[in-house]
Amino acid sequence: MSVRHALLALLAEEPKFGLRLKEEFEQRTGSVWPLNVGQVYSTLQRLERDGLVANADEAGTVASQKLYSLTDDGGTELRSWLSTPPDDLNPSRNEVVIKVMVAFSVPGVDVLDVVQDHRRQALEYMQRLTRLKAPGDDVAMVLVADSLLFRHEATIRWLDTCEARFRNGELPPARSTELATGAAPVNKQVKQ
């Protein structure tokens, strides 16, 4: 999520102080993404420098209580961001994908154990998220929980596909079960 653009969206409603922006950001994201107040103010300074926000009360604000408002350029930037799809050509790093890929080259590590460990962890996390969602919850929390559930569901599907490909011989077998030092295997090898 772009903190920069989220702050612009919050300012599109009305001028606000930095602390209020922090509180509303956390409330609207279901308190899943805590935001450091220092990050809010440093982002606001950059937005002001770039002409996207301005001091809404030039005459009477104390420096620590600056009231920020969205400029016309800020509104244009916000609308452009809202209508532009994310850059899926450069997806963020997915640590589960990296761990599974690396596991193929680590002697003594059973790739299927890595896959199963991460599948179990994702399922446990999904169960916790599902318990958090209750009728009457605020909309932000429900939507964030749904998004996280769908993301973990996709991870589980990917892990299932990895396991199926590995078991069907579509993927190369893992390296030797012994570590380079000659020690015992880290995990047991699953027999095919």
Alpha-carbon gap, residue 14 to 46, rounded angstroms: 19
Task: Examine residue 106 and state whether it is found in any structural domain, yes or no.
Answer: yes
Beta bridge partners of 54: 69
Q: Give the pLDDT confidence of 5-41 residue by residue, as tens digits.
A: 999 999 999 999 999 999 988 887 766 778 888 999 9
Domain range for 101: 95-167
Beta bridge partners of 68: 16, 55
The answer on pLDDT for 190 being more than 60 is no
Task: Examine residue 188 and state whether it is found in any structural domain, yes or no.
Answer: no
Mean pLDDT of 84-104: 77
Predicted TM-score (pTM) of the model is 0.62
Q: Are residues 69 and 8 in the same domain?
A: yes
